[in-house]
Amino acid sequence: MVSRWDNSPPFNGFTHTVLPLFKRGLLITTDEAVKLDGSDLPKLVWVVDNRDETNPVPIATFPTLSYPSPILDATGLQKDRIGAHNLHENTPGSWFSDQLILGAFFGGGLRAYDISNPFQPTEVGHFVPAPSANSPTGCISLNDVFVDDRGVVFVTDRHAAGLYALEMSF
């Protein structure tokens, strides 16, 4: 093992995705929302200084989302997760950016962040579709995001809404 960075405790953890930005010496990591009732929120997206890989240091988090009102069941419990999950991972042959980060946030939709200043990430765009009539919970649940080499954004809704293809306009 070269090093370890652990944010849980004091935060709720459940780290899901790590996106290395090697030329900038940064890691972007997501903590996955896993509780339907939101009791594990906030789930954060972290900017970690990794210039010295033996000593990763968190330097910022993405802005906390203002989520749409959750859909509640008859007992008052939230019916699906809202919070961080997956990032576009700059895979070979896909769109690449070390300044703009796109992520899927379940009921929080698709979000885009500018990290040109890694100490102060800013949200620069979002897409939050209406729930599909086929959704078993009545909620959206955007799960995975991929951006192809043309800059077309593909994001999946794991609740029967299928696949969205989007053009970036920022």
If pLDDT is split at 50, 70 and 90, which confidence band does 36 have? confident
Is there a contact between 36 and 77 (Cβ–Cβ < 8 Å)? yes
Flag whether pLDDT at 48 surpasses 90: yes
Is there a contact between 110 and 99 (Cβ–Cβ < 8 Å)? no
Tokens of 86: 């997956």
Over the Cα atoms of the chain, what is R_g?
16
Is there a contact between 15 and 32 (Cβ–Cβ < 8 Å)? yes
CATH superfamily assigned to domain 15-66+77-167: YVTN repeat-like/Quinoprotein amine dehydrogenase (2.130.10.10)
Q: How far apart are CA 90 and CA 17, in angstroms?
A: 12
The percentage of the chain sitting over the pLDDT mark of 70, rounded to a whole number, equals 91
- Angle subtended at Cα 64 by Cα 121 and Cα 77, rounded to the nearest 5 degrees: 155
pLDDT per position as a tens digit, 114-152: 999 999 999 999 999 988 888 888 888 999 999 999 999
> Looking at residue 8, what is its pLDDT?
87
The amino acid at 150 = R
Flag whether pLDDT at 62 surpasses 90: yes
Number of other CB atoms surrounding residue 66 within 10 Å? 7
Average pLDDT score over the chain? 89
Domain boundaries, the chain: 15-66+77-167
> Looking at residue 76, what is its pLDDT?
65
Q: How far apart are CA 121 and CA 106, in angstroms?
A: 20
> Looking at residue 52, what is its pLDDT?
98
The percentage of the chain sitting over the pLDDT mark of 90, rounded to a whole number, equals 61
C-alpha distance across the termini of the chain, in Å: 40
Using a cut of 0.85, tell me whether the model's pTM lies above it: yes
Q: Which residue has the higher pLDDT, 50 or 133?
A: 50
Lowest mean pLDDT among 6-15, 32-41, 58-67, 150-159: 32-41
pLDDT per position as a tens digit, 65-99: 765 555 666 666 667 788 888 999 999 999 999 99
